[in-house]
Amino acid sequence: MDSGKSLDKHIQKSARFGAFLFIIFFLATISELTAGVLVAPTSVILSDKKRTGRLTVQNPTDRPKQVQISFSFGVPVSDSAGNIRLNLQDSAVTDERSALDWIKAFPKKMILEPNTSQVVRFLARPPKDLADGEYWARIMVRSQEGETSIPLPTEDDKITTKLNMIMQTAIVLKYRSGNLISKLEVRGTEVFSTDTMVTAFIDMVNRGNVSYVGILDCRLVDAKGREISSNDIDLAVYRELKRKVRLPIFSGNYAKPFKLEVSISTEGRKDIAAEDLIAGNRIEYSTTVP
């Protein structure tokens, strides 16, 4: 009887695995039909020891794409409501952490034929007396159709329009020099709650000389320590950042008062190669939900 149940479970497991493979195949096919220019990796890290880097731009579509590489400067900033913005500047940048003036890209313009890829290389030529720490720029990968046609009016007195949809991806570029310190401090936490939602505002400041990149993990627990909900957010604090975190209160027999448990760490990022992460301090605390 038990072996029968075990076998049923095994069959279900095999069927689920087959379905999973089918979904992957389906998504891969769909992405091939509709995908635009693909850019990888999502960050380029250079240093005193490694002054060159690379990035691959791929055109998986059946139409040629015109691709242009440029640089901007911008770090994530937040407003008082905890919303994050990336304000990009491409000229008149005076920030002391800007690498804009001494980073070069090769090539800067290209036409990517269907189903081809191009490696773009970066070279850093930093000034000699660079202070320890991290310097930043954004690699702007701009793509649009390689051949665009403007629709002609069907009659002489008609007006036709064509809006070219241009896509731009801003990739992080970091240059690291000398002794690197990754340190974060939480200046304050405000927590608000309704019957269905707890909203926390976590105000952080970077005390190191590199961007603090890690994970902000928030858990909402009841008086007995049972988890009500949780939220993991990829975190990048360059200077100051106020993050809004929303935690739903799901229906259940939860005992009040609720507690918000916060954990911030540079560990656990799966989207960044381990050698590119700089280990920093870990912050853990909890606060009672009013």
Partner 1 sequence: MYRGLRYIKSWLETGVVLVALLIGPSIIIKAQDVGTGIATANVLAALTVTSTHDLAFGDVVQGVQKIADKTVVAEAGVFQVTGAGGSEISMYLQLPPYLWNNTPNNEDRLICAFTTTDADIDTTAVGTPAAHGAGALVDLDPHGLPDTAIGVADNILQIFLGGTVYPSVDQRAGSYTADIILTVAYTGA
Within positions 144 to 163, which residues make up the interface with partner 1, using CB under 8 A?
Answer: 150-154, 156-163
In the bound complex, what is the minimum distance in angstroms from residue 59's beta carbon to partner 1? 10
288 binds partner 1 (CB under 8 A): no
38 or 205: CB nearest partner 1: 38
Query: Binding to partner 1 (CB under 8 A): which residues in 59-98?
Result: 60, 74, 76, 83-86, 88
235 binds partner 1 (CB under 8 A): yes
Which tokens belong to 50? 């490694």
8 or 113: CB nearest partner 1: 8
Torsion 140-91-209-218 (CA) sign = negative
In the bound complex, what is the minimum distance in angstroms from residue 152's beta carbon to partner 1? 6
Q: Which member of 120, 135, 138, 264 binds partner 1 (CB under 8 A)?
A: 138
Contacts of 144 (CB under 8 A, 6+ apart): 65, 66, 164, 165, 166, 167
Q: Would you call 161 exposed, middle or buried from its count of C-beta atoms within 10 A (0-12, 13-18, 19+)?
A: exposed
Contacts of 217 (CB under 8 A, 6+ apart): 230, 231, 232, 233, 262, 263, 264, 265
In the bound complex, what is the minimum distance in angstroms from residue 224's beta carbon to partner 1? 28
Q: From the CA atom positions of the chain, what is the Rg in Å?
A: 25
234 binds partner 1 (CB under 8 A): yes
279 binds partner 1 (CB under 8 A): no
Q: How far apart are CA 118 and CA 146, in angstroms?
A: 15
164 binds partner 1 (CB under 8 A): yes
The H or E element that residue 33 is part of is helix 2-34
Instruction: Cis check for the bond before 64: say yes or no (omega within 30 of 0).
Output: no
40 or 255: CB nearest partner 1: 40
Q: Which member of 2, 147, 195, 271 binds partner 1 (CB under 8 A)?
A: 271
Instruction: Please give the size of the binding site for partner 1, defined by CB under 8 A.
Output: 79
Residue with tokens 């800067």: 108
Query: Binding to partner 1 (CB under 8 A): which residues in 11-30?
Result: 11, 14-15, 17-18, 21-22, 24-25, 27-28, 30
